[in-house]
Structure 1
């Protein structure tokens, strides 16, 4: 800078220079930040545009190079293929050989030079072209030098040769990634195609595929390159997709041929489960299925056809037994899990096969071929199913019970009940024996429902696991569990509920089956009554209530059967059935069973419905029902509901009786309602004087006054209007005396309407005798008078409303 400038000018120039330096420094810092971002950004991630507006690169240099090399290699392969297939015939034998030798040798030799110079991507592309050229060389050799050779055999030999050449080539040039996986892929065809070319059948080809898959698994287990291991694993999976179904088909058609194949498949899958640990459980499951099919095939062939499913189920359960750890046999946990799934799946399929006899034993009695007590027994449903289905259910129940888990015990209960249900159908038992087995099923299920501790012995009580929530570490659910509001899941409760449901289902089935014969009906219903009564006496909770309700139904069925055996008409049978709700109400007062009471009430409804065709008996049934309800109302906890039910039944009985007698006077129907309702209202107001009169007396007065008023307007005689008017006047005076709004309004309204009814004929006669202009003139004069005294009338109306409002 010029030091001779004045200080002011020199200061100005120094400031300008500093500003330019700061701007340049900011630009350089921005450029530096962008360069750092490009260097450290992940591959494929778009970089931030650099300062100055330059557009970012949309691909990396290596990506562009790979794309160009791939495209170039593909074009070269296409050109070589076209040359081989199309232009081959235009050259002589020497030219053909020279072209193939030169091009293939150049393509295979170039990667070695390129790798030494660090051009790995270019070497990879040319190496791929070289591999394709070797395939074309093999094809050209077959077309020119060996045209008469069998195609399958030549392909097998060529695949083996190419696999060896490619493997050696990849071993020499370690920098190339494609030759070794390509060699593994080519080797898959050698043995299967060679066996097929030699005339081998499906079994021989399957063995060849298994040997090839074994080699693949050896490669997977070795510490080879990742690409080689992935290729070998994928190839083994593809071979398995063909080999396993073929072996299974051979096991069905030729068991002794398919069994060794399946066992070899199982061994290979187990080896694969050890080599590929993430897929260990799945491969172990496949191995287990193959082992079951391999062992079960010869056994199935040596036994009758109906034993086929039990044989496979037994093999599956034996395999599933390895699910639990055994000290003498060390099996890895994933393998044990796979064995458990495989064996359990086979057992589940066997249970599904055994279900038709269970459904036949449960639902078959509903398919009735004759009437009740006809003595005709329908053919059992699914009677042609093999009897070995019972053995399958027995094996499943035993295996489930041996697991020592809650789900296993539950499955054992279900399968045990299914076994007993299927026995009459599977064994073709006679009618009496079938009834006995079904009753034993009910008894066993009820015994387990009453005492589930025997089946739940040794099982822990699993508790619900709390989940984290917004209200603390365990949330609302965890807090409830910690405080004891959520009870742990008790194994005994689950098993008891399952057994109870089974007992009810079997009871319904045996009751339907017993309707074929009269003696069987009485015997079965009596046995069911006793079994459920004992269960209700010994059980607790839901078991007690359900058993009590079922016992009431059995008693009702037994009572109806007795009435039917005595030849009573349905309406009379309805009267007899009322014994059931009466007895239920009497016993419930001692044993306190809500289910028994509700069931008895339902039986009472059915009994009343049966008497409907005969009104006289219907009135008697309603009255008897009212008596039962009234007796129940003596209990404090049932007083409210039972008292209302008793009142309704008595009222309905009175109405039906009046209808039978031919009574049409409405007061005969309404007064029996009015009197007790008014008494109830009076008693209520004595206990609570604040109760409004509309609530205490309104319903009772309206029940009688309104129907009677309707009858007055259609009654030409003078007695009813006189009596109704007198009664309404008395109600009005009582309302005025005690200042009660409901009697005053209702009584006064009825008096006014009755008076209008009596005055109406005279008004009609008077209007007919007067001139026609007089009614309009009178109406006009009335309107003028009302208008003139409008405010006074309003005050009078307000005063009347206030007086009524002060009443109760």
Structure 2
């Protein structure tokens, strides 16, 4: 506690601390009481086990239903058989008597059965009566009305049966079968009547739509659930058929399909209004029907290339009925968010619609607009990827033919309209989509308008520049965005209630139970999302523009210079990962400039390789002047990769390869001056200088490399010895590694190509001495380098004899010996593994 405070302030602080201690003590006492209750709660006495009731194969009710169902089925089969087989053998009186008696008895019997409470039996007999009525209608047609048209008779009979069954079910409401059966029969009169009258698809669709409207009325106002389910099924089937027919007619005969679709949409919207759970799905279907109807009319009145824009405008007008809540916070002032002028009137007029209906209509319109945007994207793909698929030589001055030149030019208009509509929505996802569509529009313009080469290249470069500028300054694109919640704020539910403290009276004991932390949704920063969206488009346009610029030499240099400046600016002024990627791109652009300059001058490959070394030199200088971080590291790694490319190009001329290796060593040595790069850069410089020496010796056809390496090795070993003497913690690799490698490795290469025995012997002796010294003084570099050199030198000397021995042995013996070796290793695997681990630990403890 701070005692330097004034007495009054310190007193307030002491009182506050005491209050907190009292509250904490109360909480701990309550927790202790809960733990005591949980640990020492009385164990309830186990109740005596109750006798398990005996199981029967089936309950009385289920057995009764099965019996009644079987009985009704058998009676139905008998009635059908009688009607089809024995009907013709009876006279007209007998037929009438049988029909009257059997049908009347089947329909009257449920009345008495229901009075006695035999509902299931009444259901079965009533079902039999309904089937007999169908058979009666069939028999009447066969005997008395055989010359009547079958479809017309079926339409009238189904209407009569539907009315009779409805009356029968209304009189006996306890029967569940008649009313759903009446709904099923009511589906047939109008469609069958239209077919009997010779009506076409349009008339049949209208009949189906009217029937579906009647079904919808039954769904809305009928009480029995079975009736509503049956009517809903019929309405879905017939209404769906009528709408599908309307969609087809909107393409072939718009003036016939539009009234059908609009009527179906009105009926669907009415159902959506009356049934909120179905509002979204039904409204979406109605929206699609409306767009198809209006778009079909526009399609008939406009030229072919304006068909898709007409549908898109209808879809956007429908999507404007969505009016989100405007009470949320704004990213940059919600008052600046614009509204779509095409749908402003629609928004005002649709304010009375429920949320579910507005959501469905807006989803339908947005889906149509999205399909239109997809239709308009192929020119953007051709403008982006067309220059990459080269069919002409670089700097030839010839330009490849464009693809999709016959695509409708209105695709650009579609992209523009959809992008404007998305920009008017104050949401992050919509603003990102608007940016993508604007970029697609600018990329597609050269293809849609068939612009010349210079205009195409200038437009692509301007697109890249604008996108990269927006990636650095995404503020204008984020203006007017509304945020759902503040970043990092936990999502709360309207039903959440504050939890009282544990010491409060009436607090439930369960509040002391451990709670899992609630996961918080990750909020995307608008500037970050918009910046990355623009950045990706800018990079894509930059690559496409560069591929297009390769047709002309001057355009190549101008494009590379402009891209180098743009990427450098983003690397300096940008944020986050965009800086790193831009730094890498700037190095690649500089590399392209060097290669283009070398090609323009006419350099050969080896001179081009030396010119490329300017890039790693420049990146090393930039890394030294840049604050240590991801950008500096990326610049230097990319520059080092360009240096490796230069070495690969120079490999065809060993003399120039040696020079390139030496220059690379100089660059690495200069980088090693910096403390944060000293360790890696110093080793790289030593390796490059060593490789340069070896290549130079090989080019000069030197057969005794020791004459050149020993004068370097001896001073290096002396310097390493003095360094370890001054600092015993210095690693043996830093002290002795470069000096030993400078002689042992070239000598080993020369020994493998030397047919005499003197060099291998001397090298083996020297390697043995180095190995023993490393083991004696526990120096890792001496032990590893000496042991490896000794092993390879011995392998070279023993290889001819091993080949002779293997050739003299039987062919089956080497595999057998290998198998025995594997068995031995497998049998002692654990021991060998422990030995290997022990050896590794001892080796790692060496300096």
Structure 1 CA distance for aligned equivalents of residues 289 and 407 of structure 2: 27
Equivalent residue, structure 1, for 2:44: none
Equivalent residue, structure 2, for 1:789: none
Matched, 1:174 2:180: no
Indicate if the aligned counterparts of 1:318 and 1:343 stay in contact, CA closer than 8 A: yes
Structure 2 CA distance for aligned equivalents of residues 92 and 304 of structure 1: 71
Instruction: Please list, as runs of the form range in 1=range in 2, the aligned pairs for 1:297-376 lying within 5 A after superposition.
Output: 297-325=296-324, 329-376=351-398
Matched, 1:532 2:567: yes
Structure 2 CA distance for aligned equivalents of residues 710 and 164 of structure 1: 106
Instruction: Please list, as runs of the form range in 1=range in 2, the aligned pairs for 1:376-391 lying within 5 A after superposition.
Output: 376-391=398-413
**1:70 positional shift:** 1.6
Moved more, 599-608 or 199-208: 599-608
Structure 1 CA distance for aligned equivalents of residues 354 and 153 of structure 2: 44
Q: Alpha carbons of 1:672 and 1:496: their partners in 2 closer, same or farther (altered >3 Å)?
A: farther
Unaligned runs of 5+ in 2: 1-46, 325-346, 494-511, 792-845
Equivalent residue, structure 2, for 1:619: 658
Structure 1 CA distance for aligned equivalents of residues 761 and 259 of structure 2: 110
Which of 46, 53, 56 pairs up with 1:49? 53
Equivalent residue, structure 1, for 2:444: 422
Q: Alpha carbons of 1:613 and 1:494: their partners in 2 closer, same or farther (altered >3 Å)?
A: same
Indicate if the aligned counterparts of 1:459 and 1:491 stay in contact, CA closer than 8 A: no
CA RMSD of aligned residues (A): 3.7
The higher-RCO structure (CA 8 Å, 6+ apart) is 2
Equivalent residue, structure 2, for 1:248: 247
Three-state SS of the structure 1 residue aligned to 2:583 is helix
Which of 460, 464, 477 pairs up with 1:438? 460
Equivalent residue, structure 2, for 1:777: none
Indicate if the aligned counterparts of 1:651 and 1:673 stay in contact, CA closer than 8 A: no
Over residues 609-644 of structure 1, what are the superposed CA-to-partner deviations in whole Å (9 max), with x where a residue is unaligned? Answer: 222222222222222222222222222222222222
Matched, 1:650 2:672: no
Structure 2 CA distance for aligned equivalents of residues 334 and 746 of structure 1: 76
Which of 621, 639, 642 pairs up with 1:600? 639
Structure 2 CA distance for aligned equivalents of residues 377 and 69 of structure 1: 85
Which of 576, 590, 607 pairs up with 2:611? 576
Matched, 1:555 2:577: no
Indicate if the aligned counterparts of 1:467 and 1:474 stay in contact, CA closer than 8 A: no
Over residues 247-304 of structure 1, what are the superposed CA-to-partner deviations in whole Å (9 max), with x where a residue is unaligned? Answer: 1111110011111111111112212223333222111111111111111111112112
Over residues 45-101 of structure 1, what are the superposed CA-to-partner deviations in whole Å (9 max), with x where a residue is unaligned? Answer: xxx435xxxxx3332222222222221111111111111111111011121111111
Indicate if the aligned counterparts of 2:768 and 2:787 stay in contact, CA closer than 8 A: no
Over residues 415-464 of structure 1, what are the superposed CA-to-partner deviations in whole Å (9 max), with x where a residue is unaligned? Answer: 22222222212221111111111111111110111012222233435548
User: Which structure has the larger Rg over C-alpha atoms?
Assistant: 1
Q: Alpha carbons of 1:435 and 1:471: their partners in 2 closer, same or farther (altered >3 Å)?
A: farther
**1:734 positional shift:** 11
Over residues 169-207 of structure 1, what are the superposed CA-to-partner deviations in whole Å (9 max), with x where a residue is unaligned? Answer: 111222222111111110111111111211211111111
Structure 2 CA distance for aligned equivalents of residues 664 and 305 of structure 1: 82
Indicate if the aligned counterparts of 2:412 and 2:448 stay in contact, CA closer than 8 A: yes
Which of 679, 686, 703 pairs up with 1:664? 703
Structure 2 CA distance for aligned equivalents of residues 224 and 583 of structure 1: 84
Matched, 1:91 2:126: no
Equivalent residue, structure 2, for 1:511: 546
Structure 1 CA distance for aligned equivalents of residues 398 and 59 of structure 2: 89
Structure 1 CA distance for aligned equivalents of residues 253 and 650 of structure 2: 71
Equivalent residue, structure 2, for 1:448: 470
Q: Alpha carbons of 1:186 and 1:703: their partners in 2 closer, same or farther (altered >3 Å)?
A: same
Moved more, 197-206 or 60-69: 60-69
**1:721 positional shift:** 11
Matched, 1:117 2:116: yes
Unaligned runs of 5+ in 1: 1-28, 35-47, 51-55, 754-806
Structure 1 CA distance for aligned equivalents of residues 212 and 782 of structure 2: 104
**1:118 positional shift:** 2.4
Indicate if the aligned counterparts of 1:697 and 1:742 stay in contact, CA closer than 8 A: no
Q: Alpha carbons of 1:747 and 1:283: their partners in 2 closer, same or farther (altered >3 Å)?
A: closer
Equivalent residue, structure 1, for 2:200: 201
**1:220 positional shift:** 1.0
Three-state SS of the structure 2 residue aligned to 1:379 is coil
Over residues 322-359 of structure 1, what are the superposed CA-to-partner deviations in whole Å (9 max), with x where a residue is unaligned? Answer: 22245652221221221232222222222222222222
With normalisation by structure 2, the TM-score equals: 0.76
